[in-house]
Chains A and B, each alone.
Chain A
């Protein structure tokens, strides 16, 4: 793994799919968007990330080429226009790869944010939130409320042990019996969990996407949430 080789002075040695003289043109014209896509493509290749989840072939090493420890750490300098795949196609695959990374892993994107999709049952559109922008469940709850203001969300901030945001059993039961909406999330294992289960920091690390479900539908999640809760205690 040698992403750091390209950390310093990367801009100087920047290898782009466009030609050197093109840089200035690209910045100023409408083609800048396209040019960026080409540059991003290269960056993703250099900053290969060893992926922990080997069972999900799709999320594993989407654009990485260096897995084999015997191979030299640095990929060969890329030649302009080779292999001869149209920039149009390359751009699409790059964008799809980025989307897929965010969808399947909810990982840090290039700028260190933790963007996850938020859907609400019955809403015609989705939103995205950066979990790193909030410090607690309360803050997230407020943000989501304003995003989906036409619907009601229950406040899922929990009472309980000071400093730890654990959900207690009684409050959970109250919530689920109502027809209010409850927030759920998909964790790294692919399980759908009730939000508020685990300490906030742990939640941010493990959350891949959020779904605000109708309370009645969320019932099936509760036993699992309880189980995980108990195991941790």
Chain B
């Protein structure tokens, strides 16, 4: 049924008739039991039992998760759930990350924060993903929620260091400030020194992540802040921090468990470093003293001669992110050979198949691997291939999640992974050259992906690529019964492909498709499924206005958005971008001129 917070799909019964006294007692008892229920899916199920349970569940829900900010209005959510302490809100469709959604599309945090400010005085946590949040919104958070503790902004935009300064200064109980891959609106020269705005007293900070804040900051202020934050366990700094400064921070916070190292190079160039002495050795002693470190990231502008400094912590590391570090296989090997306990590893493809082989040899406990391309273009050489994938599958049988960018792949390697790694939950393979077949047999990649859905019985997320026929989709529809998220690009032959998926994948929630030959007839074949899904995105397919309008008319609770690149394009028959999602509300009124709602 519905995965959303609204439980049973429709609006649900209103609790305006007071129940009899005995029922009231029962409800109170129920409430004290239900507060132990934390999973939102369990809560959704509980809320469907009867009105009494619905009311009790609504009063005890502390964590509000809204997977699509336009699926429900703030008013409606607040009316049902009155005692919320933590809110998670997601906005733009994921393809916005790849510049497919024009700027100004929507997903504004403002209407939410305005309503929550008056209704949730005890709010402690806000987590936003792909939303637009302005400095004024941050200011409203700071002044409206006296118990505010955790702010996480992921892939958001619209705010600047001005807003950060307000949060730092006014949120006295701040525990978590995690800024992850956001676009900060400052020009470098206008940036505010927000780090200096934290209160002078001992803070309750546990996590401070700001590697995406591009502007320079007052380092002394940061060092002082770290010194007076005894609970700090996660610190990820930006690239304005070099190793000499990193050492100082590490000295102040030996209890850190998660460290983002900034620019892993000396502040001074030249032999021996400008400051004299041996910075590599000094850095080594810093790491040797940080006995609690389990997660390392950063390594921007890395100078490989500093890498040996991390050897003392390698054996205890469970997570290592080298994905911004240009490292060759020879530079990776001496590091990775110590990392026996690694569970999460992100890396650039510059390490090549050879580097991945080294990973496979040591990291037998690996659960998540992401291999990013240095050169993210279709024609790039590509340094990793099926050989690396095969090696990983053989060395890392516990693998649960993989994201792999490459230029050359074979069905055999993918099949091997499907058999060697049965625990796979997330399989995302991106063969960067469009429509590329198996590099040895020249055949489509159907069999490889087919094996994945067939053998990996826990698979919930799949991204496909390479040359794919309708056969691949037949496999996915037939075997991908648990798949919730599917990403398709430049694949398929006909409408049949999309039909297979819509009819077969009964748990499908999020479907994003680009540049594939699926048309109106396939779109219309899915009418009975769209209310069960969070959204469908289709761009550069074969859809027309007529087909989309038919869907909109058949399903009143589905918002059907046609997005154009410019306002002028809006008059053509062709639908370039379709984004449709279920909603309890009338369609939004904040859309920009290039969005048409049918």
Contacts and interface: CB of A to CB of B under 8 A. Distances in A.
Interface stretch (A1-9, A76-84, A166-174, A194-202): A76-84
Interface string B203-236: 0000000001000000000000000000000000
A25 B212 CA distance: 23
B377 A65 contact: yes
B442 interface: no
A18 interface: yes
Interface string B290-318: 00000000001100000000000000000
A119 B187 contact: no
Given A79-B378, A93-B374, A86 B95 contact: no
Contacts of A45: 375, 377
Q: Which of B100, B183, B268 has the most CB of A within 10 A?
A: B268
Given A82-B434, A121-B274, A76 B378 contact: yes
B212 A86 contact: no
Interface stretch (A26-34, A129-137, A138-146): A26-34
Contacts of B372: 85, 89
A100 B324 contact: no
A121 to B, nearest CB: 6
A22 interface: yes
Given A19-B99, A211-B269, A83 B377 contact: yes
B405 A83 contact: yes
A22 B592 CA distance: 13
A220 to B, nearest CB: 10
Given A20-B566, A45-B377, A58 B103 contact: no
A76 B324 CA distance: 26
A85 to B, nearest CB: 4
Nearest to B569: A21
Given A58-B326, A88-B181, A83 B373 contact: yes
Contacts of B326: 58, 96, 100
Interface string B374-403: 111111110000000000000000000000
A87 B377 contact: no
B224 to A, nearest CB: 18
B328 interface: yes
A21 B565 contact: yes
Contacts, number: 141
B104 interface: yes
A204 interface: no
Interface string B346-386: 00000000000000000000000000111111111100000
Interface string A59-81: 00001011100010001101111
Counting chain A CB atoms within 10 Å of each CB, the highest count among B155, B212, B378, B405 belongs to B378
Contact of A80 (B99, B187, B405): B99
Interface string B164-200: 0000000000000000010101110000000000000
A25 B566 CA distance: 11
A192 interface: yes
Given A65-B375, A83-B378, A31 B99 contact: no
Contacts of A87: 97-99
B271 interface: yes
Contact of B274 (A18, A100, A119): A119
A3 to B, nearest CB: 15
Nearest to A63: B375
B99 A81 contact: yes
B133 interface: no
Interface in B249-284: 267-271, 274-276
Contacts of A43: none
A50 interface: no
B111 interface: no
A228 interface: no
A63 B187 CA distance: 27
Nearest to B430: A83
Contact of A209 (B183, B187, B269, B594): B269
18 contacts: A26-B103, A30-B186, A31-B183, A31-B185, A38-B99, A45-B375, A75-B377, A75-B379, A83-B432, A84-B97, A84-B98, A84-B487, A85-B98, A85-B376, A89-B323, A96-B324, A103-B269, A121-B274
Given A21-B102, A45-B377, 8 more contacts: A21-B566, A65-B377, A66-B379, A67-B381, A75-B377, A82-B514, A83-B378, A100-B326
Interface of B: 95, 97-100, 102-104, 155, 160, 181, 183, 185-187, 212, 267-271, 274-276, 300-301, 323-324, 326, 328, 372-381, 405, 430, 432, 434, 487, 489-490, 514-515, 565-567, 594
The 4 closest A-B pairs by CB, nearest first: A81-B98, A21-B566, A85-B376, A211-B270
